[in-house]
Amino acid sequence: MITNIIIISVIVLIVLGASLYIVKQKKKGRKCIGCPHSGECSKKNCH
């Protein structure tokens, strides 16, 4: 029972951290978050 709670809380923390990272990067104006050139390319031409 306690192991299930620990596993669920770890998964929730991972998802929450990823969501906060995405929101933070979007507020900085990054269009393609996973792209190393996201600040340099245009919205239509990000590779």
Q: In the prediction, which pLDDT does 42 show? A: 60
What's the DSSP call for residue 37?
T
Radius of gyration for the alpha carbons in the chain, expressed in angstroms and rounded: 16
pLDDT tens for each residue of the chain, 47 residues long:
999 999 999 999 999 999 999 999 888 877 777 777 666 666 565 55
Residue 38, Cβ density class (10 Å: 0-12 exposed, 13-18 middle, ≥19 buried): middle
Q: In the prediction, which pLDDT does 8 show? A: 98
Distance CA 36, CA 27 (A): 17
What's the DSSP call for residue 44?
S
Distance CA 3, CA 33 (A): 34
